Structure 1
Amino acid sequence: MRHVISICGDCEGDGAALAAAVAARDPGAEVRVVPCMNLCSRPVTVAARAEGKAAYLFGGVTPDEAEAVATFARMYAQAPDGVIADARPLGRLRLCLIGRIPA
């Protein structure tokens, strides 16, 4: 199953730097820099999706949170339905969650 972490490259924040830092921390993650995800009021936007799993959307993520995004990517890949029951290991990133979309 392919797990994709998409990071907005158009935001005023530094999406490309965040994507590179996440990919370096989790070489198994498929990290993509994508065009605008229309959440410009909360740069940088990060989305996670995989077939048959819940999808996630985060806003206001900074390059300083690359380790938390990489941790999330690993937790997401291990969750059979994509649902992360205990988000405490994600630190501030859990407060950036905008929504979880059911599979």
Structure 2
Amino acid sequence: MTCIFVCSECPDGARRLSMIAGAIAGEECGIRASACLSGCRSGGSVAVRAPGRMAWLFGPVEEGDLDDLRRFLGLYRADPKGVIHDARPLTRLRFKVLARIPAA
């Protein structure tokens, strides 16, 4: 299952967690608060990972990025390795990628 981690130590972490949870309601996706994700320069860090797939770290994720985040989840699930081959549909969110971590 795909899981979204929201940094609880970034400013407005609890609000961001709630906002993302509302935006992805109905998706087959877990969401949880996490201690520091080390995206501190950007703030508002959010990570996405699933077993056998690439992990992604974004920041800052803001309210205006929620549609892009939903699009990202669709593209992420569509590729068996979680690789996004064309990030242009993610508009603003594609410029907020802090890290892509290959699957183990």
Q: Which category describes the TM-score, using the shorter chain as reference length? A: 0.7 to 0.9
Q: What is the one-letter code of the residue matched to 2:10?
A: C
Contact 2:10/2:36 (8 A) holds in 1: yes
Aligned position for 1:87: 87
Aligned position for 1:24: 22
In terms of mean alpha carbon deviation, does 69-78 or 41-50 score higher?
Answer: 69-78
Q: What is the one-letter code of the residue matched to 2:91?
A: G
Distance (whole Å) between structure 2 residues aligned to residue 71 and residue 30 of structure 1: 16
- Output the TM-score relative to the length of structure 2: 0.84
How many residue pairs align between the two structures?
101
**C-alpha offsets along residues 5-50 of structure 1, whole Å, 9 cap, x if unaligned?**
11112112x3333332332232222121212112222111111111
How big is the shift at 1:94?
0.3
User: For structure 1, which runs of at least 5 residues remain unmatched after alignment?
Assistant: none
In terms of mean alpha carbon deviation, does 23-32 or 48-57 score higher?
Answer: 23-32
Distance (whole Å) between structure 1 residues aligned to residue 89 and residue 20 of structure 2: 16
How big is the shift at 1:51?
0.9
Contact 1:18/1:66 (8 A) holds in 2: no
Contact 2:39/2:98 (8 A) holds in 1: no
Q: How many percent identity over aligned positions? A: 38
RMSD, matched Cα: 1.6
Which portions of structure 1, spanning 4 or more consecutive aligned residues, are displaced by more than 3 angstroms? none
Aligned position for 1:11: 10
Q: Secondary structure at the match of 1:60?
A: coil
